[in-house]
Amino acid sequence: MKPFREVIKANIGDAHAMGQQPITFLRQVIALCTYPELMDDPSFPLDAKLRASKILQSCGGQSLGSYSSSQGVSCIRENVAQYIMQRDGGIPADPDNIYLTTGASDGIASILKILVSGEEKSRTGIMIPIPQYPLYSAAISELDAIQVNYYLDEENCWALDVNELRRALYQARDYCNPKVLCIINPGNPTGQVQSRHCIEEVIHFAWEEGLFLLADEVYQDNVYSDNCKFHSFKKVLYEMGPEYFTNVELASFHSTSKGYMGECGYRGGYMEVVNLHRDIAAQLVKMLSVRLCPPVSGQAAMDVVVNPPKPEEESYNRFIREKEAVLSNLAYKAKLTEEIFNQIPGIKCNPLQGAMYAFPRIFIPDKAIQRAKELRMAPDMFYCMQLLEETGICVVPGSGFGQKEGTYHFRMTILPAVEKLKTLLQKVKEFHIKFLDEYS
């Protein structure tokens, strides 16, 4: 008999699983593409039908069941390029530089694979933030590449400090060939949103050091703090002038899984590459073609994300209402989570400026660290297991993401519905106080 009534899963960024409803327009378009007989159904709005019919016209035999080209359906790549251009205030985007992917993970793993080479000291080093989203460490280890850690500055809202990048790079050059710099903005698990100034510094650094920039921007729609704004690396790169935008290699990623849509299961995503060498691009296409193409329904989902209803269209109001409802709800929960965590003695939480996670620092008493050691567990793993056992709340220990030695954290999504999130936070509070008490 467990001392709780239900398990509350706050461990995965899986919005629909936590009760978030799909965006109606997106599902209507995909349903119409799936079963075109619905084109005659008067209950489906005209704009959804037009979208679906455009997508199908770009599919072989007008069917979602045909293979697309390995790079993705052409009209969808064009819409992605159009979206990027609008997002970035008119800076051009070339559909030939767009690759639709099986979620962002697949794109990231593919581009890393293409970039890794060399043996021993010349083996490719890949710089990643610590804390990081574990896709990176897993992909790096799968590729036998060298993981080069740079630490985000927790004292400074998890900001990225270029001096720290430099330190990490120079040290790494002793044992590998660091060629790739990965940035996650907005941050996962850390939730910071990078300032424009910081991005400029990073780009300048990449330019100076000849690093390939990999910008994971899947949370670009998830920005909550009033004083924060999402700046794409692509935009800042262009605005820094031709010396930069004709030289710095950049791959940036987006996905249907996050934002306001939360369509993880469709495995939709895209990557945009800039200044990718022609030979590397050819190699990339060849590699992607082994797996034939990304799922076409995921591509259709991506199409809706980059080409949502326009103000003059029938579905616009509903779409905006649903989108804003999700995003304002997340913004509310981001604020709430930060506030409550910071009321708990021994927990300190940076503002959740973006993404969908809190990554609070937790104080773990020495006695508990001792106990964890006896159990051969990381101290924060011990903490999270105790939390689960006693409250049914499932979060991920900070050690799964990496953290500065001697600091402890956990990652928790803010996806549970408001009332459930309040319960969750209250339970964490009670648990933490009890935990401190028990082990002090």
- What is the contact surface with its own copies in residues (CB under 8 A)? 12, 14-20, 22, 27-28, 30-31, 34-35, 38, 41, 59-61, 63-68, 102-103, 105-106, 109, 135, 138-139, 142, 261-267, 286-287, 289-298
Instruction: Report the alpha-carbon distance of residue 183 to residue 167 in Å, rounded.
Output: 16
Nearer to its own copies by C-beta: 44 or 363? Answer: 44
Q: What is the DSSP string of 193-238?
A: ---HHHHHHHHHHHHHHTPEEEEE-TTTT-B--TT-----HHHHHH
Beta carbon of residue 381, minimum distance to its own copies (angstroms, whole number): 17
Nearer to its own copies by C-beta: 140 or 148? Answer: 140
Beta carbon of residue 208, minimum distance to its own copies (angstroms, whole number): 32
Beta carbon of residue 283, minimum distance to its own copies (angstroms, whole number): 11
| Helix (H/G/I), strand (E/B), else coil: 392 | coil
Beta carbon of residue 36, minimum distance to its own copies (angstroms, whole number): 9
| Helix (H/G/I), strand (E/B), else coil: 393 | strand
Beta carbon of residue 39, minimum distance to its own copies (angstroms, whole number): 12
DSSP structure class, residue 180: E
Q: What is the DSSP string of 91-138?
A: ----GGGEEEEEHHHHHHHHHHHHH----GGGSEEEEEEES--THHHH
HSE, CB side, 13 Å, CA atoms: give it for residue 280. 18
Beta carbon of residue 289, minimum distance to its own copies (angstroms, whole number): 8
User: What are the distances in angstroms from CA 199 to CA 63, 85, 207, 240?
Assistant: 42, 19, 12, 11
- Torsions phi, psi of 428, nearest 5? -60, -40
DSSP structure class, residue 190: T
Beta carbon of residue 325, minimum distance to its own copies (angstroms, whole number): 16
Beta carbon of residue 363, minimum distance to its own copies (angstroms, whole number): 31
Instruction: Report the alpha-carbon distance of residue 299 to residue 168 in Å, rounded.
Output: 37
Instruction: Report the alpha-carbon distance of residue 221 to residue 260 in Å, rounded.
Output: 7
DSSP structure class, residue 159: B
Q: What is the DSSP string of 145-157?
A: -EEEEEE-BGGGT
* Cβ–Cβ under 8 Å, residues 187 and 230: no
Nearer to its own copies by C-beta: 139 or 223? Answer: 139
Nearer to its own copies by C-beta: 288 or 306? Answer: 288
Query: What count of other Cβ atoms lies within 10 Å of the Cβ of residue 2?
Result: 11
Beta carbon of residue 313, minimum distance to its own copies (angstroms, whole number): 19
Query: Using CB atoms within 10 A of its CB, is residue 283 exposed (0-12), middle (13-18) or buried (19+)?
Result: middle
Nearer to its own copies by C-beta: 82 or 283? Answer: 283
Nearer to its own copies by C-beta: 158 or 260? Answer: 260
